[in-house]
């Protein structure tokens, strides 16, 4: 079985006590915020063995695991950068900014960061970037679950305001229905104006 505690155990043994896992969701969406989460486990803490990459877990299980993560961990936080910030910064920088907001949250005080991906923004905090970290580090996996559950809930609420785009199903990702609605109704205030919305681009199959 994959040991998703490998990085955490190594850092705890080095004396780090507030290791924060960081992940974000929504980078590939056409609208809505990019949402990041930061999770700090208590040294030696164990979460449900199903905590893994949020994309590999069904919605009901994600929601149940999110509640456990919030109740059992030393610290957790969820932050976002709006579509306006994304247009101002670009999506990569906005993703980094959302994650940095997690490190700067009240009472966070991380002493080491585990970041999903292959690069991160400049910071004085010691950190490691882990490719596919949401399946290799329990802290990052927990963060990925919190971020996805939070963003999905938000997009489903926004769906009530603009039901024609299908956000209750695609949560803002580029699906056929989403593109067709853009052609018919145009942008909303939640769409990222800096994104190219060419309909010839491949899209995700509607659920």
Residues 21 and 18: their CA atoms lie apart, in Å, by: 10
Its pTM stands at 0.93
Whether residue 200 lies inside any domain: the answer is no
d(CA 69, CA 75): 9
CATH, residue 70: 3.30.420.10
What pLDDT score does 200 carry? 38
Q: How many helices (H) and strands (E) would you count in the chain?
A: 7, 5
Q: Is 20 inside any structural domain?
A: yes
**Domain assignment of residue 141, given as a range:** 6-153
36, 99 contact by CB (below 8 A): yes
Query: Can you give the pLDDT at residue 1?
Result: 65
Residue 164 within any structural domain of the chain: no
Identify the segments of the chain with pLDDT beneath 50: 199-207
88 within some domain: yes
- CA-CA distance, 165 to 182, in Å (whole number)? 8
Residue 204 placed within a domain: no
Domain tally, the chain: 1
Question: For position 197, what pLDDT does the model report?
Answer: 58
For the segment 136-172, what is each residue's pLDDT rounded down to a tens digit?
999 999 999 999 999 999 999 999 999 999 999 999 9
């Amino acid at each position: 079985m994959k040991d998703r505690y490998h990085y955490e155990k190594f850092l705890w043994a080095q004396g780090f006590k507030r290791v924060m896992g960081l992940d974000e969701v929504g980078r590939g969406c056409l609208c809505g915020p990019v949402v990041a989460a930061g999770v700090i486990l208590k040294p030696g803490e164990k979460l449900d063995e199903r905590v893994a990459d949020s994309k590999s877990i069904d919605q009901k299980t994600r929601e149940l695991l999110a509640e456990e993560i919030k109740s059992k961990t030393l610290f957790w936080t969820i932050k976002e950068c709006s579509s306006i910030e994304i247009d101002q910064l670009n999506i990569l920088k906005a993703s980094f900014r959302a994650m940095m907001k997690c490190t700067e949250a009240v009472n966070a005080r991380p002493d080491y960061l585990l970041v999903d991906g292959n690069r991160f923004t400049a910071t004085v905090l010691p950190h490691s970037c882990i490719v596919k970290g949401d399946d290799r580090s329990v802290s990052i996996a927990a963060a990925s679950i919190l971020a996805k559950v939070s963003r999905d809930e938000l997009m489903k609420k926004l769906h009530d305001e603009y039901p024609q785009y299908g956000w209750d199903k695609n949560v803002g990702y580029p699906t056929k229905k989403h593109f067709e609605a853009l052609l018919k109704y145009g942008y909303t205030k939640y769409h990222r104006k800096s994104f190219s919305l060419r309909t010839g681009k491949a899209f995700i199959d509607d659920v």
